[in-house]
Amino acid sequence: MNRDARLPVSGLLALAMTGFIAIMTETLPAGLLPQISDGLYVSPSMAGQMVTLYALGSLVAAIPLTVATRGWRRRSALLSSAIGFLLFNSLTTFSTDYTLTLVARFFAGASAGLAWGLIAGYARRMVAPALQGRAMTLAMIGTPLALSLGVPLGTWIGSWVGWRSAFGIMSVLTLLLIGWILAKVPDFPGEARQKQLSLYQVWLLPGVRPVLMVIFTWITAHNILYTYIVPFLTPLGLAGQTDSILLLFGLSALLGIGLTGFLVDRWLRRSVIFSLAIFALTTLAFGSVAQIAPVFYCAIFAWGATFGGAATLLQTACADAAGDSADIAQSMIVVAWNLAIAGGGIAGGVLLKSQGAGAFPWAMLLLLTIGLVIAFSARKTGFTPGARQSETV
């Protein structure tokens, strides 16, 4: 396929819709736990394990499924992921057995793990090298939309049509997505066997490990606060404003995505270092002057804006470092990202119990400082200076 100077918007938005469905499927139970617990005759905490099993499926399956399908035609692999969402969301819709529902959630998560291993590399192959960053920005826009809107939107849908119908709606959306992929997403050959590097060889590629380490420090720091935002807001007297604060975060994240689309191909390294530095400054504000309302809300805005572009910046850097093995490197990102989510939850829980929520900003600052040092040091590989020119895909 000849790649010109135009973005194939419709095809890239189909990839974005894939990410949107993956995140919506993951977060949907969070706002519907009372209804789900009543429907399956389990406690709300047991219903919450629907989220846990989904995340576990993504974590466990991302690398094996990406490796197993690396030789497949790319559209066939993407369609397999979408069909997985269709099947297992439909099974969740109709299941009346708690164990069967958890099994469906695990395999829905596995479908997401495969999707995340494909989206970034797919977007890069659809455009000329000079547009790869912008293409990834567009392909990833469904993720922050779902993260910022997923829980409230899922709660609203569930209260309107019931939790089972909410999962049914996800299946209908996925069916439409399958048609969209067939109509608008170009096909590409899989990776030739003679060019396939082993998982360990991809891990050893210069630049891959620094990017993965920055991902882990950045996203762990983010999730310490994001997971326990209510306990952090409570001493400030802002717990009742959680929804509006998260909305501000989500809107600023969308702004961050837009800005990243203009910056990633010209100043990827500067954008990563600047984002980490600004996030570190916001943690200082959270830790020292959070009680000053204007400063606090500016810090929330800055936090969201820097986080919004994180996925695009880090996935682009990792794909650049991995070259032809970008899909395998992206599956490593899925693992690193999910480990960071779990790590943030564990670290935040330990800090909350032992030191209180006031300790969050300082732990986050330590992690971000480590991430900054790694990113700054990875000048030759991982986060290289200058404009992106002619990376192979």
What confidence tens digit (pLDDT) does each residue in 51-89 have? Answer: 889 988 998 999 999 989 988 999 999 999 999 999 999
Secondary structure in 3-state letters for 259-291: HHHHHCCCCHHHHHHHHHHHHHHHHHHHHHCCC
Percent of the chain with pLDDT over 70: 95
Maximum pairwise Cα distance, the chain: 60
Q: Assess contact for 58 and 107: CB atoms under 8 A.
A: no
Helix/strand/coil (H/E/C) assignment for every residue in 148-211: HHHHHHHHHHHHHHCHHHHHHHHHHHHHHHHHHHHHHCCCCCCCCHHHCCCHHHHHHCCCHHHH
Q: Which of 24-28, 192-196, 222-226 has the lowest mean pLDDT?
A: 192-196
Closest CA to 86 of 155, 22, 13, 182: 22
In this prediction, residue 324 carries a pLDDT of: 78
Mean pLDDT of 91-117: 95
119, 12 contact by CB (below 8 A): no
Q: Residue 195: what pLDDT?
A: 67
Residue 44: closest CA among 54, 29, 56, 23: 29
Give the model confidence (pLDDT) of 231-259 as tens digits: 899 899 998 888 788 888 888 988 998 89
Question: Measured at the alpha carbon of residue 175, what is the angle toward residues 170 and 181, in degrees to the nearest 5?
Answer: 120
Residue 326: predicted pLDDT: 81
Which two three-digit tokens encode residue 365? 């600052």
Q: Which two tokens stand for residue 25?
A: 């499927």
Region 102-106: what's the mean pLDDT? 96
Residue 391 is predicted with a pLDDT of: 38
Buried-state track 73-91, b at ≥16 Cβ within 10 A, e below 16: ebbebbbbbbebbbbbbbb
pLDDT tops 60 at residue 185: yes
Span 319-331, mean pLDDT? Answer: 86
Q: Give the model's pLDDT for residue 26.
A: 87
- Tokens 């048609």, located at residue: 179
List the domains of the chain with CATH numbers: 9-195 (1.20.1250.20), 199-377 (1.20.1250.20)
pLDDT bracket for residue 18 (50, 70, 90)? very high
Res 392: pLDDT: 35
Q: What is the average pLDDT value for the chain, to the nearest integer?
A: 89
CA distances from 374 to 42, 106, 225, 328, 338 (A): 45, 34, 22, 22, 20
What pLDDT, in 10s, does the model give residues 296-315?
999 999 999 999 889 889 98
Entry pTM? 0.81
Evaluated on CA atoms 30, 33, 34, 36, the torsion sign reads positive
